[in-house]
Amino acid sequence: MVSWRSLLVAFAVEANGLELNPLAEPGHEDFFGGRPVERVREISPSDFDERVRLGKPFVIEDAGQSLDLVGTSCQQFHERFPSAKMRAEYTGSRNEEFVSLGSKAWFQKDRPQQERLKPKSKDLQNVARANAPYVWHVKDGGHEAPPGVRAAVQKAWQPPYFVRGAVNLREANESAEFWFHRRNGAVLAHADTYCIPAVSLQITGKKRWRLMPHPQVQFSRLAPDSHDGGIYRANWRPFWEITVHEGEALVFFPNLFHETHVPEENLECTVATTFQIQLPVPARYLRAYLPTFAMSHLYYEGHCLDLWHPYATLRPPQAVQATTDEAAIEEEHSSLLAAIDKDANGSISYDEMEAFLAAQRDPASPGRRFSSAWPRWFYTEDYFYDWRPATSEVVREMEAEMLEARIQDTMAYLDCCPRDGLVSANELLAALRQWHVVHHRLDVTDQLRSGGQKRKVQMVEKQFVERLLAYASTIYQDVLFGFTAG
């Protein structure tokens, strides 16, 4: 039987490279442009941003340069923060178990996982028999990091050189957590609910990562369980494999399933820190795989939507009602184009996008800190924890950074085929149509889902695929190009 996915991929692009079928997605090989995880050094701001916007994981080999933290052992964490508590993972019980950093067993004794993972393949035996890790969520405060401890950790925190700008420095500082693994430890494959890029910096020892993009799905029942080990029961096929050494950092993205294993030939106990950055976002990856992401846990559990909607809609997060009415979509397209494409030549330049985004004001909430509307759309606890900028200088600095990134991210999201630095009228229409169809499908099925009507959900999802296939087959040739990493 021909799979829906392969048909959709085959019909993905029109001869000029612009994908018009709103549910079509590029294949992973095409989009990411090959397997190897690239390793870079002395990464420049523009190279960093470009790689993040694509959304393919990469390693920064010299991430730890001039960071005192690199080389800090488990024992040193134990001596320095004896009053903190961390979470013991994979205890097998339903209650969370906390262990004091002040105790010694965690770094001196093995503690096998209590998960009942039945390895189907030889490949999984390593992780199934591995030691369970400990994670210290400094960011959560509470008994994991009482105020004094949290302040001490944040004070000692030094940013890696590629974390730039007030927004990213704040996010990274605020979001740091530490992972402690004894030799032969593992974290089972999972996808986090982050909506923004994450960085894992290896502080001591080395760790092997296996990663896989979220499987491409057009039916929500086929979306894998994103929790630890869930995907082993379904379709775990690692796409990338990479060993990250002491002082190196892996940059990875929302909805990438990942598993880590600390090999036997290693220090007795290894440490890594994970933190996030806000700017830029993997815009090209979000655009390419939006139909799948809307079926994923990020939509059901996550809070990414407010952040993501406006790349396509160019309106405040809740301002646009999804529809499949082609006339309505085209009308919206025309009015957006009229507002943004000031010289009316049919394509949107960086300057035009800047003028459009910078000018937006939000009359409904006057007197807020940020002067333009759209930074406020995201000015929530999700986005900034409980931290708020103290001075108007910091506000202005952050607003400028967010505006710059928002323009670039929006351009990268829309400018797909070909990538020429301009957003054509057709590119805008394709992104809008994708957004509408994907979210209309979600709106319709959401009601059925909350009513527990699984079969109806599936029927509706099938209708979407069939209708679009019929539509596509009249227009498209099965040519595949454009929309790739190249």
User: Nearest Cα to 374, choosing from 313, 431, 449?
Assistant: 313
Q: Could you tell me the smallest distance in angstroms from the CB atom of residue 277 to ligand NAG?
A: 13
Q: Could you tell me the smallest distance in angstroms from the CB atom of residue 141 to ligand NAG?
A: 12
Q: Could you tell me the smallest distance in angstroms from the CB atom of residue 73 to ligand NAG?
A: 23
DSSP state, residue 479: B
Straight-line distance from the first to the last Cα atom of the chain, in angstroms, rounded to the nearest whole number: 32
Distances (CA, A) of 217 to 11, 13, 221, 222: 16, 18, 9, 6
Nearer to ligand NAG, 425 or 469 (CB): 425
Q: Could you tell me the smallest distance in angstroms from the CB atom of residue 443 to ligand NAG?
A: 35
Helix (H) or strand (E) holding 256: strand 256-262
User: Nearest Cα to 78, choosing from 276, 268, 243, 260?
Assistant: 268
Q: Could you tell me the smallest distance in angstroms from the CB atom of residue 274 to ligand NAG?
A: 16
| Angle separating helix axes 350-359 and 326-340, nearest 10 degrees | 100
Nearer to ligand NAG, 349 or 458 (CB): 349
Contact 104, 137 (CB under 8 A): no
DSSP state, residue 419: -
The two beta strands, 38-40 and 58-60, are parallel
Nearer to ligand NAG, 159 or 230 (CB): 159
Nearer to ligand NAG, 152 or 322 (CB): 152
DSSP string, 153-201: HHHH----TT--SHHHHHHHHHH-EEEEEETTEEEEEE----SS-EEEE
d(CA 270, CA 133): 10
Q: Could you tell me the smallest distance in angstroms from the CB atom of residue 2 to ligand NAG?
A: 39
Nearer to ligand NAG, 231 or 431 (CB): 431
Nearer to ligand NAG, 176 or 186 (CB): 176
DSSP state, residue 330: H
User: Nearest Cα to 136, choosing from 220, 188, 80?
Assistant: 80
Contact 420, 276 (CB under 8 A): no
Nearer to ligand NAG, 2 or 390 (CB): 390
Q: Could you tell me the smallest distance in angstroms from the CB atom of residue 333 to ligand NAG?
A: 17
Give residues in contact with ligand NAG (CB under 6 A): 154-155, 157, 159, 169, 173, 343, 345-347, 349, 352, 422
Nearer to ligand NAG, 61 or 354 (CB): 354
User: Nearest Cα to 482, choosing from 46, 3, 4, 9?
Assistant: 9
Nearer to ligand NAG, 108 or 345 (CB): 345
